[in-house]
């Protein structure tokens, strides 16, 4: 009886060893290596068609579902500020052309009347004060002017050499002023310091003119201006000068 039991145990061990080595897989139908056998990989059909999808958190929510406010925003939301910042440049606050003389203002005004909306532009009168200069000259030759320059340097008086306009050059300017009284004051000081033959002259006469101004132009008005011939408006419409 004991011998029979030992024989059965030996047969059982031999059968288990054969099954664990895979020798009985086709006989029993039970695979000793479970799902790790290489035969499953060999039986795959076109595995190159398999595509790995992104995590489910990156997918748009299904219809009828409410998105989680704590979840990160989709990539499209990150590009929204860039789209807002790509707006066009702000429109200018004021544009003006001129100044025009009495002969020039007519054609420019007529061109605006026929091409721009009524009330989109105005005509403004401008006044430009003259310039007054403390002046020495006009010299007959450069030798006389050089002698006066030596004298002024000795008296430590600053000066500028004039090469234009023709009625003043060659000559020397000791200072320019918009108010004649200020030029007279400088002349009095220079005379006391020993400067000779200086006088006050009007280097630039006062003038008046007309300016065409457009306040807060719209995009439509700017487009209409761009289509107009520029030679009628001199240098064209530029940002208004500061007061």
Residues 166 and 223 in one domain: no
pLDDT the model gives residue 176:
94
Produce one character per residue of 34-69: b if its CB has 16 or more CB atoms within 10 Å, e if not: eeeeeeeeeeeeeeeeeeeeeeeeeeeeeeeeeeee
Residues 145 and 183 in one domain: yes
Tell whether 98 is covered by a domain: yes
Residues 6+ apart with CB under 8 A from 96: 124, 211, 212, 213, 214, 237, 238, 239, 240, 241
Answer whether residue 236 shows pLDDT above 90: no
pLDDT band at 84 (very low <50, low <70, confident <90, very high): very low
Residues 215 and 161 in one domain: no
Please report how many Cα atoms fall inside a 13 Å half-sphere around the Cα of residue 130, on the Cβ side. Answer: 13
Residues 154 and 113 in one domain: no
- pTM, two decimal places: 0.42
Total domains, the chain: 2
Residues 116 and 140 in one domain: no
Residues 169 and 231 in one domain: no
Residues 101 and 152 in one domain: no
Indicate the average pLDDT of the chain: 80
Domain extent at residue 114: 94-128+207-239
CATH of the domain at 151: 3.30.70
Answer whether residue 33 shows pLDDT above 50: yes
pLDDT digits (tens, 9 = 90+) for 171-221: 999 999 999 999 999 999 999 999 999 999 998 888 788 889 999 999 999
Tell whether 59 is covered by a domain: no
Q: Distance between CA 189 and CA 182 in Å, rounded? A: 11
Residues 200 and 227 in one domain: no
Residues 150 and 161 in one domain: yes
Q: Distance between CA 137 and CA 197 in Å, rounded? A: 8
């Amino acid at each position: 009886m004991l011998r029979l039991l030992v024989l059965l145990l030996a047969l059982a061990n031999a059968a288990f060893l054969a099954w664990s080595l895979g020798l009985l897989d086709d006989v029993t139908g039970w695979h000793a290596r479970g799902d790790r056998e290489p035969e499953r990989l060999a039986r795959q059909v076109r595995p190159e068609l398999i595509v790995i999808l992104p995590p489910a958190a990156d997918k748009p929510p299904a219809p009828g579902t409410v998105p989680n406010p704590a979840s990160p925003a989709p990539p499209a939301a990150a590009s929204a500020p860039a789209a807002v910042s790509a707006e066009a440049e702000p429109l200018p606050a004021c544009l003006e052309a001129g100044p025009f003389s009495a002969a020039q203002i007519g054609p420019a005004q007529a061109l605006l009347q026929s091409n721009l909306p009524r009330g989109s532009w105005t005509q403004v009168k401008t006044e430009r004060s003259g310039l007054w200069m403390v002046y020495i000259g006009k010299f007959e030759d450069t030798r006389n002017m050089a002698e006066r320059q030596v004298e002024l340097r000795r008296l430590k008086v600053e000066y500028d050499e004039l090469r234009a306009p023709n009625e003043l050059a060659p000559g020397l300017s000791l200072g320019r002023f918009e108010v004649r009284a200020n030029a007279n004051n400088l002349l009095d000081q220079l005379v006391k310091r020993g400067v000779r033959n200086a006088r006050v002259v009007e280097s630039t006469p006062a003038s008046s003119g007309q300016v065409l101004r457009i306040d807060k132009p719209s995009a439509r008005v700017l487009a209409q201006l761009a289509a107009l011939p520029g030679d009628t408006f001199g240098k064209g419409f530029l940002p208004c000068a500061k007061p």
